[in-house]
Amino acid sequence: MNDVLPPPWGPLVETYGSPLYVYRLDEVRSAHADLAAALPADARVLYSLKANPHPAVVAELARRGCGAEVSSRSELLTALDAGMDPGAVLYTGPGRSAAEAETAMRAGARLFSVDSAAQYGVLRRAAARTGTEAEVLLRVNPMRATWGSGLTMTGVPSQFGIDEEELLARPERYAQAEGCPVVGLHFYLGSNITSADALARQFGDSLEAATRVCGRLGIQPRLLDLGGGFPRAYARSDEVLDLGSIGPAVQKRLAECFPDPAHRPRLLFESGRHLVGAAGSLIARVLDVKESKGRTFAVLDSGINHLGGMSGLGRLPRIETEFVCDPPRQEGEEAVPVDVVGPLCTPLDFWARGRSARLRAGDLVVVPNVGAYGLTASLLAFLGRDCPVEVVLDGDTVAGASRLVYERRPLSSAP
Ligand SMILES: *Cc1c(COP(=O)(O)O)cnc(C)c1O
């Protein structure tokens, strides 16, 4: 634990107040460069906006040549506004109404991932109605789960993807090309996979599944989205995993599975947390330190409404906040176990239990590595407190500051 609140936090809090999110674009650039260097040279990385849809973050990745993986109209518009190439924006998700599909096509979406035969029908009809030349990646739930996944989403019963068995048994359901051809497959097997070997093995398994499925469908895939799962620590200090071995291993399997170089699909990969996790920090202030029946509680001005809302629901690992205190503590001042809680009126509002810390009212604490699944993955509207200001830093320069605001708008008629 560091005892000094390093720059730029202090001056930023003085200007913008607390709590405060800070995103550093140079960290986004270096994470993207690392990931691109670890993957085959002509592969394309899609940024999953779910991790952090802040427009400045998305625009920075667009400038780096990233595409986008989006799953709502709002994410789609953010990606296109940020300058993403519409041909490199993949619209994903297991449930799309006819209206959503048509809206997406009218807004410029061209590439869709499809999770069922019925959803393929929805998309074909939307393409016909809007006169759109859309393209489809069939999302595959492979026969076998690859072990070692952090959060396994496929190879097991799932709402995501079409079972490989179904694709092999009934290929005719997916062969209706008109206006909406299948140009490839989409895999996404899990999130936060913390071994480069497991990642490479997962991509290799997906390539093999792709040869089986594409052979049966009778298509030469132009695009294969192998998904991601690239890891990054969440709300604690990072040990960066060396991804360097993945590219050559994937390249080799690709050449084995698709031996004809003239018909080798272009590979896509997806990442949210790895690209932006390290770029974000949340700064909060300790409002009160109190004792209750032998325990110490530090009450902050930020809680699960700003960070870890899904953690409050048991969805994400508990936050292991690294506390950086201001001002520095005196020698000999004892660290004690502290329950670090937020200001919300629910006992679910806590970030950490029994963390060893020396906190006083007025301290600022910094939570590192919350650039992904921070603000928008939290319970923003719960108890109606303001969102923190989000500051974007480019080097030492403030590139922008804004606050997300939600509001209720009366409707004069049905929407
Ligand atoms: C959530 C998601 C991602 C991003 O996952 P990260 O762990 O943030 O990299 C990528 N693709 C799909 C389909 C997702 O649902």
Average pLDDT over residues 256-277: 96
Average pLDDT over residues 391-403: 96
Instruction: Determine which residue's CA is closest to atom 7 belonging to ligand 1.
Output: 191
Amino acid 281: pLDDT? 94
8 Å CB contact between 157 and 195: no
Residue 409 lies in a domain: no
Residues 48 and 152 in one domain: yes
Amino acid 330: pLDDT? 65
pLDDT of residue 146 exceeding 90: no
Residue 259 lies in a domain: yes
Residues 148 and 222 in one domain: yes
Q: Residues 63-95: pLDDT tens digits? A: 999 999 999 999 999 999 999 999 999 999 999
pLDDT band of 219, cuts 50, 70, 90: very high
Helices marked H in 218-298 — which ranges?
Answer: 246-257, 273-276
Scan for tokens 């530090």, then name that residue: 298
Amino acid 4: pLDDT? 45
Among 275, 303, 328, give the residue marking a domain's end: 275
Residues 205 and 256 in one domain: yes
Sign of CA pseudo-dihedral 32, 269, 258, 109: negative
Instruction: Determine which residue's CA is closest to atom 8 belonging to ligand 1.
Output: 272
pLDDT of residue 308 exceeding 70: yes
pLDDT band of 318, cuts 50, 70, 90: low
Residues 388 and 313 in one domain: yes
Average pLDDT over residues 320-330: 61
Show the domain range for 31.
25-275
Find the helix packing angle between 196-217 and 246-257, rounded to 10°: 20
Residues 353 and 238 in one domain: no
- Residue 175's identity, in one-letter code, is A
Residue 289 lies in a domain: yes
Residue 173 lies in a domain: yes
Overall domain count for the chain: 2
Pairing relationship of beta strands 89-91 and 111-114 according to DSSP bridges: parallel
Amino acid 328: pLDDT? 60
Residues 120 and 145 in one domain: yes
- Comparing C-alpha atoms, which of 106, 97, 103, 50 is closest to residue 78? 50
Residues 268 and 289 in one domain: no
- Contacts with 206 (C-beta within 8 Å, 6 or more apart), sequence order: 140, 142, 187, 189, 224, 226, 227
pTM (two decimals): 0.94
pLDDT band of 203, cuts 50, 70, 90: very high
- Comparing C-alpha atoms, which of 383, 415, 380, 387 is closest to residue 402? 387
Q: Residues 158-202: pLDDT tens digits? A: 999 999 999 999 999 998 778 899 999 999 988 888 889 989 999
First to last CA, the chain: 52
Among 232, 255, 275, give the residue marking a domain's end: 275
Residue 380 lies in a domain: yes
Q: Distance from the CA of 213 to the center of ligand 1, in angstroms?
A: 23
Rounded Cα distance between 85 and 73, Å, is 16
Residues 77 and 224 in one domain: yes
Residue 410 lies in a domain: no
Residues 201 and 312 in one domain: no
Average pLDDT over residues 358-369: 89
Residues 174 and 35 in one domain: yes
Q: Three-class SS of residue 357? A: strand
Pairing relationship of beta strands 182-186 and 20-24 according to DSSP bridges: unpaired
Task: Output the domain CATH number for residue 94.
Answer: 3.20.20.10
Residues whose beta carbon lies within 6 Å of some atom of ligand 1: 48, 50-51, 69, 92, 188, 191-192, 227-228, 230, 270-274, 372
Residue 415 lies in a domain: no
- Contacts with 107 (C-beta within 8 Å, 6 or more apart), sequence order: 73, 76, 77, 80
Q: Three-class SS of residue 364? A: strand
Q: Distance from the CA of 103 to the center of ligand 1, in angstroms?
A: 23
Residues 84 and 174 in one domain: yes
Average pLDDT over residues 296-310: 92
Instruction: Determine which residue's CA is closest to atom 13 belonging to ligand 1.
Output: 188
8 Å CB contact between 269 and 206: no
Furthest CA-CA distance within the chain: 74
Q: Distance from the CA of 271 to the center of ligand 1, in angstroms?
A: 6
Residues 150 and 249 in one domain: yes
Among 217, 250, 275, give the residue marking a domain's end: 275
Mean residue pLDDT across the chain = 90
Rounded Cα distance between 266 and 331, Å, is 58
pLDDT band of 3, cuts 50, 70, 90: very low
Task: Output the domain CATH number for residue 360.
Answer: 2.40.37.10
- Residue 72's identity, in one-letter code, is S
What is the percentage of the chain residues whose pLDDT exceeds 70?
90
